[in-house]
Amino acid sequence: MSKRAIIVPVVTLGVAAILLFTIKGCWTSWEGEGAEQRTDDAYVRADMTPLSTRVSGMVRKVEVEDFATVKPGQLLVQLDDEDYQAVLAEARAALTGAQAALEDNQSAKGIQDSKIENAETMVAQATAAVNAARAGVSAVQSDVERTGLERKRQEALLAVRATTHQQVESAIADADRLTGMLASHQADLERAQAALASSRSLLESEKRQRAALDTRDNLYRADIQAKQAAIIVAQVNLGYTQIVAPTAGAVGERHVQEGQLVAPGMQVIDLVKGDVWIQANLKETQLTNIRQGDVADIKVDAFPGIVLHGKVVEIAPASGSQFSLLPPDNATGNYTKVVQRLPVKIALDPGHPLQGRLRPGFSVIVAIHTSGKGAKAEGSPS
């Protein structure tokens, strides 16, 4: 065998190995530095809202058909609301009762105020009676002392025969009469003081009852607030019997039918909002020079020959695998490197020819014209 026959295969294998290692080492940079990044792992997306029930009840009527276009606030599903109407009526009746109780308590307070005024008048009258009785006692007290002294003097004079029995008897009679009057005035004073004490006790009792009415007033007001809150809750629950469209869009397939019993949290219908965008799942090696605002060309598989235009508005903060139910844990077991993909949100330019015809889930092909390489070059040191 000649040397040529040996050298040619060896050189060929060497060149192939060099090319292989060169491509392997530079492929990532070549792919990321491309002026255009393309992917067919892209789809039309839109905000989808699953509308659920907040209360339980029987479905009275489904107001829309499958896939119908709806406006904001349009009624979609009506639940039977008779029970909730009754609860609302009961709450309103309870509020009326609480308000009537408050008004009755106000009337009772007015009556109690009148009783307090009467008791205060009685206290004032009893005080005047006590003062009058004291004045009477004071007025008679001096006469009693005077007639008592006169009696003793006449009795002493009678002992030395310097006065007559008639004068002594007159002095004794005056002393006894005034003593009796003093006793009568003292009795009047005691009765007046007792009446004053009774009047003051009655006044304090009436004031305590008035304070109790004030406390009851606060209780009634708190009860009214509770009844008003119950009405609000009943109105809110009644409103939940009507499931309306929060925004404009199109409904999906209905999940309930008339006569079906639903529970809180049960999904009844899906709402797809009208605004759509493109989600392009690019490999991490393609994101080197992609920036927000980059122009993108979009071809929709359902409409061949039409090219739409848009701009990159957001790049996902993490790869799709990180948002999965079970994120991979590469720190355990054997490791195989897999290129990750990150969702890129592309907003379509307004007024595109497929307005209103795109549906979430359509497959598209996206080509993004990158601008990051030029920006990097401008910011690099000279």
For residue range 318-342, what is the model confidence (pLDDT) as tens digits? 888 887 777 877 777 777 788 889 9
pLDDT of res. 7: 72
Q: How far apart are CA 117 and CA 250, in angstroms?
A: 73
pLDDT of res. 54: 93
pTM: predicted TM-score of the whole model, two decimal places: 0.64
pLDDT of res. 23: 62
DSSP state for residue 253 in the 8-state scheme: -
Q: In what order do the strands lie in the sheet with 57-62?
A: 242-244, 75-79, 57-62, 261-262
Apex 79 CA angle, 73 and 81, nearest 5: 105
pLDDT of res. 379: 40
Contact residues for 284 (Cβ-Cβ < 8 A; gap 6+): 319, 339, 340, 341, 342
- Tokens describing residue 217: 């007033």
Q: What are the boundaries of each domain within the chain? A: 34-80+249-324+339-379, 83-238
Which residue do the tokens 């509770």 mark? 226
**Beta partners for 334?**
none
pLDDT of res. 24: 59
CA nearest 77: which of 254, 235, 250?
254
Contact between 78 and 242 under an 8 Å Cβ cutoff? The reply is yes
pLDDT of res. 92: 95
Alpha helix stretches (DSSP H) within the chain: 3-32, 82-159, 165-239, 372-379
Would the CA dihedral through 293, 294, 297, 298 be positive or negative?
A: negative
- Tens digit of each residue's pLDDT, the chain (382 residues): 566 667 767 777 777 777 776 665 554 554 546 678 899 999 999 988 899 999 999 999 999 998 898 999 999 999 999 999 999 999 999 999 999 999 998 898 899 888 888 888 888 888 888 888 777 777 677 666 666 666 666 666 666 666 666 776 677 776 667 677 777 777 877 888 888 888 888 888 888 888 888 888 889 999 999 999 999 999 999 999 999 999 888 998 889 999 999 999 999 999 998 789 999 999 988 888 899 999 999 999 999 999 999 999 999 998 888 877 778 777 777 777 888 899 999 999 998 899 888 999 999 999 999 886 654 434 433 2
Query: Which CATH fold would you assign to the domain 34-80+249-324+339-379?
Result: Elongation Factor Tu (Ef-tu); domain 3 (2.40.30)
Q: How far apart are CA 200 and CA 123, in angstroms?
A: 6
- Tokens describing residue 75: 């009624």
Length of the chain: 382
Instruction: Write down the architecture of domain 83-238 according to CATH.
Output: Orthogonal Bundle (1.10)
Which residue do the tokens 């009058």 mark? 132
Q: How far apart are CA 145 and CA 136, in angstroms?
A: 14
- Tokens describing residue 201: 């006790």
